[in-house]
Chains A and B, each alone.
Chain A
Amino acid sequence: MSTVDHPLVTATGLAKRFGDFEAVRGIDVEVNRGEAFGFLGPNGAGKSSTMRMVAAVSPRTGGDLRVFGLDPDVDGPRIRARLGVCPQQDTLDNELTVRQNLQVYGRYFGLSRARVRERATELLEFAQLTDRADDQVEPLSGGMKRRLTIARSLVNEPDLLLLDEPTTGLDPQARHLLWDRLFRLKQSGVTLIITTHYMDEAEQLCDRLVVMDQGRIAAEGSPAELIGRYSTREVLELRFVPGGQEAVLPDVVDLAERVEVLPDRLLLYTEDGEGALAAAHNRGVRPISSLVRRSSLEDVFLRLTGRSLVD
């Protein structure tokens, strides 16, 4: 069978209004088959609203949208049949067991009883919940519920997986495990769309991402491209007692291409961090501690939205 290489998701001028409020203000996005695509943005940027439109559960109020080449307004059920969705808030049935949640959900996709039993066993393993399989969901920890939600989204072996802040509430080990699983899914041909507040997650998982702010796309590219375009090679971090950073600002402002003032730190964006640190020292600047590091997506984010990601 031949597959034409075409975008799985195409949005042009896509908009979402809630009453008078414009949550998404005309965005253009293309997600290609087999790609891992990220939405970054501060709280309220419109990431979840966009995800819900792509998931064919929330009708758009403007622009155009195609998922698998289909219009969600017309072919919602056909689109949803091929999607896996992990919503920002869990929608598990707390009064059923872990296994029942997987089985009941699989049935909604038209899978046979035998198939959902099989699939539940596989997914329990995937989510490392096998030993809790026949426990009720209610008393599970937040992270376990999250893992179950993610497992449930895979019940129909989706072509496109939508993950809205999948790792929020997971401990570091569970997060790394999930990254590994998502990476493998991607290698097996699943297309991923992810929203996250974790920069390391975005850098690890996403081939391409957009930074959203106030319903618009502020920048688009691969993590490396974005860092190259919006930040310098290195960053010098100078830490002060809170408030102290304002006083030294005039002494260092000309040492870098750009300076960000955070509550307890100054970030000096420069090609040569060590050089800037030496120069600051010569001028008598005495921070509590200093650190030279490479630029990350966090810096891109700060530059584009004026806010740090993890509040």
Chain B
Amino acid sequence: MTGPTTTIRSTGTVVGSWRATWLVIEGLWTWYRRSWRATVVSSVLQPVLMLLALGFGFGSQVQPGDATGGLRYVAYLAPALLVSGAIQNAGGESTYPVLSAFKWQKTYWGVVATPISPGQLLSGQLLWIALRLLGSGAVYLAIAALFGAVTGPGVLLSLLFAVLAGMAFCAPVVAFSASRDDDGQGFAGLFRFVVMPMTLFAGTFFPISQLPAWVRPLAWLTPVWHGNELARGAAFGTLRPLATLGHVGYLVALLVAGALLACRLFRRRLAV
């Protein structure tokens, strides 16, 4: 070694990147183990209630037809609720908790004072949210299956697509949250003007072919629509290779762009 030598007594070491990411997840899991009850209502119950009220209740008034692919309305709706559930949860997990870790509790600053870097912190945060989406989606699916709203094992693939769509939304929103310094006012706008219209009009409850032609391109921009196409395709066995590639490509592009932007913003904010 060229530098001066010192006897090291410290027990701290630099962990590898994957392990660092894993340790961040472990920290978040420690929190979740204590607080999961408070999150169950919004993450699992909400999509189940939607399925009951809209799928079974309202759906009983809907005739199977072309728009529903010849299926009962509840069967048509079930895979799409997987997607909108993932989007809702992604929105919840990547807004207030992230802003709080920067601004109110400042826990992110605690983490980056250890050998863990801002980039590793971000990967841990993103992967954690992905795991949350996967867990909530699986519970929803199990309940939907109990109610007989599931058409076949294809929905397991739908679940993965739903997580992908959720993360394609989550990554840019995490970046957005990392850029905020208000008390969460920005998020109200996000939920009102992005999440809500996306859930209502991007093909979850009815095909976007019913929308006025000039609105349709807006729906194409949303991760919800791509997610719905994929989730339904997987559930009903109607996936076509080229279209699948296109949808997945778009979602992955959103995810990667969002993650890269978030990484820049995390570094900039945490290393001042």
Contacts and interface: CB of A to CB of B under 8 A. Distances in A.
Interface in B1-33: 3-15, 19-20, 23, 26-27, 30-31
A153 B4 CA distance: 25
Most A CB within 10 A of own CB, among B6, B31, B271, B272:
B6
20 contacts: A33-B6, A76-B117, A80-B113, A81-B10, A87-B113, A91-B110, A93-B31, A93-B110, A95-B35, A103-B30, A104-B26, A108-B23, A108-B27, A108-B115, A109-B13, A109-B114, A110-B15, A115-B11, A157-B12, A158-B12
A68 B9 CA distance: 12
Nearest to A70: B3
Tier of interface size on chain A:
35 or more
A100 interface: yes
Tier of interface size on chain B:
35 or more
Contacts of A87: 109-110, 113
B30 A68 contact: no
Interface of A: 1-4, 6, 8, 18, 33, 55, 57-59, 66, 68-70, 76-78, 80-83, 85, 87, 89-97, 100, 103-105, 107-111, 115, 156-159, 189
Given A59-B271, A95-B34, A107-B23, A78 B14 contact: yes
A100 B31 CA distance: 9
B10 to A, nearest CB: 4
A157 B9 contact: yes
Contact of B30 (A55, A104, A115, A189): A104
Contact of A96 (B31, B106, B115): B31
Interface string B246-272: 000000000000000000000000111
B47 to A, nearest CB: 25
B27 A91 contact: no
Nearest to B2: A69
A112 to B, nearest CB: 10
A158 B10 contact: yes
Interface of B: 3-15, 19-20, 23, 26-27, 30-31, 34-35, 105-117, 270-272
A48 B74 CA distance: 59
Most A CB within 10 A of own CB, among B11, B12, B271, B272:
B12
Nearest to B272: A58
Given A80-B114, A91-B110, A95-B34, A109 B6 contact: no
B114 A108 contact: yes
Contacts of B9: 157, 159, 189
Contacts of A91: 105-110, 113
B30 A100 contact: yes
B116 to A, nearest CB: 5
Main secondary structure of the interface of B (DSSP, over half): loop
B26 A107 contact: yes
Contact of B115 (A4, A58, A77, A100): A77
A82 B12 contact: yes
A245 B34 CA distance: 61
A159 B31 contact: no
A89 to B, nearest CB: 6
Nearest to A76: B117
Contacts of B106: 89-91
Nearest to B120: A77
B14 A96 contact: no
A3 B8 contact: no
Contacts of A77: 14, 115-117
Nearest to B116: A108
Nearest first, the 5 A-B pairs at minimum CB distance are: A156-B12, A91-B110, A69-B3, A109-B12, A108-B114
Contact of A108 (B3, B6, B35, B111): B111
B50 to A, nearest CB: 29
B35 A92 contact: no
A289 B11 CA distance: 55
A55 B117 contact: no
Nearest to A86: B113
Nearest to A157: B11
B113 A57 contact: yes
Contacts of A93: 27, 31, 105, 107, 110
Contacts of B272: 18, 58
Contacts of A70: 3
Contacts of A18: 272
Nearest to A2: B5
Contacts of B23: 107-108
A82 B8 contact: yes
B10 A3 contact: no
A199 to B, nearest CB: 28
